[in-house]
Chains A and B, each alone.
Chain A
Amino acid sequence: MNPRHILAVTKKDIKAELRGKETLNFMFLFSFISLLMFNFATDPYSPTLKDVAPGFLWFVFIFTGMLGLSRAFLKEKETGTLEGLQLAPLSKEDILYAKIIYNLLLMLAIEAVAFPLFIVLFNYEIQGSVAEALIVLTLGNIGFVIVGSFMSALVMSARSRELVLQIIVLPLLLPVIILTIIALRKVMIFAEPLLTIGEIKLVVSYVAIMAVLSSLLFEYILEE
């Protein structure tokens, strides 16, 4: 692992994305429109809304993230630059780490806009600490981005890869998704602090296992 290499690749991706903004724009519009749909589908005065809204929020993030994920490796593969990276003397895992960081930044950027939008649209008042809610969200994101980036590289040579990607990523992330929703609901509904510590611990350990597996197995994805 060479932080300089990782940083260089991430920086390159961000720069290229900011020039074209293709993925970012799509992701933002998608998250906006799906939040609106969910909002339209629910009654704003319904007492159960407070219960289900955190789940909506998380699903919007997941499916928006999925859009970005499938691009990160695919674009390098389509333009052939993935080979350029493999020709350079950097370890293969560093490419994965760079993409993970890049995807995480993309997701956080979207969420920075979508989260306030959610609060406004659903007229939501977070009862617990906002910081705790953000920690839970970010942790969930990290887990999602690690498994997602790895799998998006894996499905590169499959047919209808965007579909296959979702079919693979969602089950593997089921524990993270469920735990994050539970934790998010707790933070948003109850005022008591640190109620989510149990879920946080579980998410961290699960994600750690996924991270170790990803870095161990990544070389087999690029190997031919």
Chain B
Amino acid sequence: MRFERKYAVALLAALWAMVLYAMYSALFRLGPLKEELLRFEGDPMRHGYKIFFFSMETAAITYLAFTVLLVASILYLRSKDMKWDVIGSSSAKIGIVFTTILLVNGAIFSKVGWGAYWNWDPRQTTSLMLWFILAAYLSLRTAIDSDETRARLSAIIGIFGFVGVPLTHVSATIWVSNHPQLYNQAGKAPFSLDKAGVSVFMMMMLGVLVLYLYFMWLTVKIERLNQKVLSGER
């Protein structure tokens, strides 16, 4: 047990070092945006584009959290196994943290790129919708006393709520949006990362993913202990 823990701590420390290095690289080592991509002279996006490294990762984890919630909800309704409820609700709890970070990121990006923290861009709006859905999911859970009913009803919301994910994803294309897109209509990336950019991106992605998994593991464990205490088991 001790032994395992030592390794886990070492691994986490290494990961953190890597993420910190990636963050440092993203902010200070990567160059500015190519001249031909700037919209006008003195475009704040010259360096402002770097927030992409932060918001893209958080968005990916938000989607992941929703997907885990969706799958766990479906599995709960089919099997009525409380395990899936624990996994689903844990993913929602972590998801709301990441969605909050995503919204903050989005607001900073919006201020730099468009001049206002909040301008009801479709991407912003739909990300906010995701946040509200998770908040609704979590508040519904506090309003129901019976474990079984809570699990069943919140699983239904978990499935409904997933609709927001594809909507957020396509929102920038189907609505008029100023949000930069990964792919334009010809399927080509309007801006591409150089080698250094890609490695920074991958490092941060890995770091955030492990962070999600670590949070999941912790939350599920706490929830299990909670249930044990409540049911009087030893």
Direct contact of A and B (CB under 8 A): yes
Measured CB to CB, the closest approach of chain A to B171, in angstroms, equals 9
Q: Which interface class (under 10, 10 to 19, 20 to 34, 35 or more) fits A? A: 20 to 34
* Residues in chain A near residue B77, CB distance under 8 A: 217, 220
CB under 8 Å from chain A, chain B span 106-149: 125-126, 128-129, 132-133, 135-136, 139-140, 143-146, 149
Q: When A172-B160, A209-B163, A213-B160 are in contact, do A158 and B140 touch as well, CB less than 8 Å?
A: yes
Interface of B is mostly: helix
* Residues in chain A near residue B139, CB distance under 8 A: 164, 167
* Residues in chain A near residue B75, CB distance under 8 A: none
Measured CB to CB, the closest approach of chain A to B59, in angstroms, equals 18
Measured CB to CB, the closest approach of chain B to A165, in angstroms, equals 10
Tell yes or no: A159 within 8 A of B by CB: yes
Tell yes or no: B159 within 8 A of A by CB: yes
Interface of A is mostly: helix
Q: Which of B129, B145, B149, B159 contacts A171 (CB 8 A)?
A: B129
What total of chain B residues lie within 8 Å of the partner, measured CB to CB? 28
Complex Cα–Cα for A171 and B160 (A): 11
* Residues in chain A near residue B163, CB distance under 8 A: 172, 206, 209-210, 213
B156 touches A164 (CB 8 A): no
Q: Which of B135, B136, B159 contacts A217 (CB 8 A)?
A: B159
Tell yes or no: A174 within 8 A of B by CB: yes
Tell yes or no: B174 within 8 A of A by CB: yes
* Most chain A CB within a 10 A radius of its CB, from B143, B146, B159: B143
Measured CB to CB, the closest approach of chain B to A26, in angstroms, equals 24
Residues of B in contact with A (beta carbons under 8 Å apart)? 77, 125-126, 128-129, 132-133, 135-136, 139-140, 143-146, 149, 152-153, 155-157, 159-161, 163-164, 167, 174
A-B contact pairs, 13 of them (CB 8 A): A155-B140, A157-B149, A158-B143, A167-B139, A171-B136, A172-B133, A202-B174, A210-B163, A213-B159, A217-B156, A217-B160, A220-B152, A223-B152
